Chain A
Amino acid sequence: MEKTILLGEKEMKLKSSAATNILYKRVFHEDILLKLGEYSHNIKEMERLQKKVEELRADKEKPKEQILSEMTEILNSDAFTQSSKFQDETLPRLAFIMYVEANVPVDKLMTKLTEEQYLFWLMTIDRDELLGVVGQVMDIWQAGAQTHSKPKN
């Protein structure tokens, strides 16, 4: 899937393909499929914890100190820290691969894909603004990741 997203005032074209995860592994030596699986699991866990926080806030019988302590514990839980790490580290890397796929001709793709190229690209974008479009970047990946066939068994 190919889509242009707005990063502040800058337009950025991203493209996900069937080779995105292979290119990602080649450059960053990490498994993006496993990372995306973990992230998806953590998002569900965070939604569950968010509900718990709302329940804590609504509980007027509990002492405030206990509520604050429990909320801090939730915010420091693995789901929150790992999701934050995914958004800070993995997401810009995934966006870089998708940016290169969308903007570099296929025959030149391999030469453009190095970690040094990524660090250079990272200097040209606003990371805070990239964090603001996490959902859109994930949408581009997920739209390409949709499957329609059903296993017979």
Chain B
Amino acid sequence: MASRSTDAQQTKKLKRPIDREFNSALYFLRCKQMGLTLHELLGLNYGDVVDMMIESANDREKYDYKATQHDFDTVFH
């Protein structure tokens, strides 16, 4: 419960779009960061890899906790 209230109290920063072109060099860099080889890329779709990049960035985000029965019990009792 303590960690949840800490997350909730965090100030939400306004994220602004950045002016950075998505070029092949950046694409290849992200592929290497994810550990993908050229051989593996040949067996994947471009869209699959972009999805993986998005999910990789989503890993660094914070998510709301799902309420458990214990949480409901705490609120209603």
A20 touches B (CB below 8 Å): yes
A124 touches B (CB below 8 Å): no
Known: A1-B45, A144-B47. A21 touches B15 (CB 8 A): no
A152 touches B (CB below 8 Å): yes
Known: A148-B51, A149-B51, A153-B61. A22 touches B45 (CB 8 A): no
Are A18's CB and B44's CB within 8 A?
yes
| Count, chain A residues at interface, CB 8 A | 29
A109 touches B (CB below 8 Å): yes
Are A34's CB and B45's CB within 8 A?
no
Interface set, chain B 22-55, CB cutoff 8 A to A: 22-25, 27-28, 31, 36, 38-39, 41-52, 54-55
B19 touches A (CB below 8 Å): no
B10 touches A (CB below 8 Å): no
Known: A33-B22, A148-B47. A18 touches B58 (CB 8 A): no
Residues on B with beta carbons closer than 8 Å to the beta carbon of A18:
31, 36, 41-42, 44-46, 48-49
Residues on B with beta carbons closer than 8 Å to the beta carbon of A83:
none
Question: Which A-chain residue is minimally distant from B42 (CB atoms)?
Answer: A19
Alpha-carbon separation in the docked complex, A88 to B65 (Å): 54
- Extra A-B contacts (10), CB below 8 Å, given A149-B50, A152-B57: A17-B46, A18-B36, A18-B45, A21-B24, A33-B23, A106-B39, A106-B43, A141-B46, A149-B55, A151-B57
